[in-house]
Homo-oligomer: A and B are copies of this chain.
């Protein structure tokens, strides 16, 4: 008698699978120095640049962790820190052209995964899954 796995664990399994695939896709495209945590942080950067503390909040990590990740991203040439014209204490983290080149590859793999999942589940169930997950986010994502 098999115990039913919690929905959260099932989500963990599939989301990890997806994260690994995106990570591997980036590696193959010449972005092998990016890690999953770094990529996740980078995804939170707005086109005009984003403050470190905002990035930390979006990724739900401490400021110190974000500092360390941005340090590595900067050294690898993915982001740059520029002064925030509206606040002398703050700096904006901005993507460089290298990061902008990586994004489409990540998005492409995301789309590929999404299509495979849709093909496996069928269009309608995939749609229901998306809606349920989006709805669930309202009570599981403290930062909207």
CB of A17 within 8 A of CB of B110, answer no
Contact segment of A48-56, A83-91, A113-121: A113-121
Contact segment of A26-34, A64-72, A73-81, A123-131: A123-131
Query: Contact string, A7-33, partner B, CB cutoff 8 A, digits 1/0?
Result: 111111111111100000000000000
Range, interface on chain A: 35 or more
Q: Does A96 contact B (CB under 8 A)?
A: no
Q: Does A132 contact B (CB under 8 A)?
A: yes
Q: Point out the residue from B8, B14, B136 that lies within 8 Å of A137, measured CB to CB.
A: B14
CB of B12 within 8 A of CB of A136, answer no
Q: How many copies does the complex hold?
A: 2
**Which B residues are CB-close (under 8 A) to A110?**
6, 8
Q: Does A62 contact B (CB under 8 A)?
A: no
CB of B10 within 8 A of CB of A130, answer yes
**Which B residues are CB-close (under 8 A) to A15?**
8-9, 11-12, 15
A110 to chain B, nearest CB (A): 5
CB-based closest 7 A-B pairs: A8-B18, A11-B11, A10-B133, A17-B140, A11-B15, A12-B15, A14-B140
Q: Which residues of A contact B (CB under 8 A)?
A: 4-19, 60, 110, 113-114, 116-117, 120-121, 125-126, 128-142
